Amino acid sequence: MGNAGPVDILRGISLSVGRGETVGLTGPSGSGKSSLLMLMGGLERATSGRVAALGRDLGPMDEDALARFRRDHMGVVFQSFHLIPTMTAIENVATPLELAGAPDAFARAEAELAAVGLGHRSGHYPAQMSGGEQQRVALARAAVTRPEILLADEPTGNLDGSTGQAIMDLLFGLRDRHGATLVLVTHAPELAERCDRVIRIEDGLLAA
């Protein structure tokens, strides 16, 4: 925090997302949209107020309980992919299944990689893949557990236009196939438009 003192990033937000709904969060840089997404995923804690997912209050859960909750119900995609650099593509995708104790983790991971068009790159490390390929691996990793909730934080922010388009097609395709709830943070209005509902955040407040 430093000497600047704490800053309230989000203030007085009340938001409810229905099961199976797709929601686009937009707003200028620093408006708090990524912070809101992190709160929804239990990756960040609210200093006050209540965050609930699938009917369960995330507030009282400790860090391990939150991790288990994400393992069983959520998939998260980041702007910078965040693949584990010491693991190959297939190992990255299989990890959440393994954490959940799935006996067929690798078979399912292989199928998921194939579904995002990367069946032939399963043995490659992240550093050996392009940005677009890395993000496809990250998508496969988020979707492989068939989560009820998909959280995506500017998934095309680090990619060029056409690659970004392909990633979005994949993301929405995965959501449509499995019927998950999708919350998507994006700068691009045309991407947000593909969601059922678009919410704009400005200066930590809901604008629309």
Partner 1 sequence: MNVAWRIARRELRGGLTGFRVFLACLALGVAAIAAVGSVRESIEAGISEQGAVILGGDASVELTYRRASEADLAYLKSIADEVGEVIDFRSMATLPDGSDRALTQVKAVDGAWPIYGEAVLDPAIPLDQALGNQDGLPGAVLDPLLIDRLELSIGDTVRLGTQDFRVSAALVRAPDSAGGGFDFGPPTLVLTEALAGSGLISEGTLFDSEYRLRLPPGSDLAALKSATETAMEGSAPRWRDARDGAPGVSEFVDRLGSFLVLVGLAGLAVGGVGISAAVRAYLETKTEVIATLKTLGASRRTIMATYAIQIGVLTAIGLVAGLILGALIPLVAGPIITANLPIPADIAIRPGPLAEAALYGIIAAALFTLWPLARSENIRAAALFRDASLGAEGWPRPFWIVVTLALAALLVGTAALFSGMAEIALWSAFGIVVAFVLLVSAGRATRALSRRLARSGLARGRPSLRMALASVGGPGNEAASVVLSLGLGLSVLAAVGQVDNNLRGAIARDLPDIAPSFFVVDIQPDQIDPIRERVETDPAVSRMDAAPMLRGIITRINDRPAREVAGDHWVVTGDRGITYAADLPPRTKITEGDWWAEDYDGPPQISFVAEEAAEIGLSIGDTMTINILGREITATLASFRDVDFSSAAMNFTITMNPSALAGAPHSWLATIYAEPEAEAELLRDISRTYPNITMISVRDAIGRATDLMGTIAAAITYGALITLATGGVVLIGAAAAGVRARTYEAAILKTLGASRARILANFALRSAILGAAAGIVAVFAGGMAGWAVSTFVMRTSFVFEPVSAIAIVSGGIALTLAANLAFSLRPLAARPAQVLRARE
Q: Which one, 100 or 114, has the nearer CB to partner 1?
A: 100
What is the C-alpha to C-alpha distance for residues 208 and 199, in angstroms, rounded to an integer?
6
Is-contact 152 74, C-beta < 8 A? no
- Segment near partner 1 (CB under 8 A); pick from 12-20, 32-40, 179-187, 190-198: 32-40
Each residue 79-98 as x (binds partner 1 by CB under 8 A) or -, in order, gives xx-xxxxxxx--x---xx-x
Query: Which span (19-27, 48-56, 78-86, 174-182) binds partner 1, by CB under 8 A?
Result: 78-86
Helix (H) or strand (E) holding 74: strand 74-77
On whether the CB atoms of residues 148 and 180 are closer than 8 A, the answer is yes
147 Cβ neighbours under 8 A, 6+ residues apart = 73, 74, 75, 180
Q: Per CB under 8 A, which of residues 44..63 are in contact with partner 1? A: 44, 63
Token code pair at residue 108 = 């399912």
Residues contacting partner 1: total by CB under 8 A:
40
Residue 112 interacts with partner 1 (CB under 8 A): yes or no: no
Distance CA 154, CA 2 (A): 28
Query: Which residues of this protein are in contact with partner 1, per CB under 8 A?
Result: 34-35, 38, 41, 43-44, 63-64, 67-72, 76, 78-80, 82-88, 91, 95-96, 98-101, 103, 105-106, 125, 127, 141, 154, 157
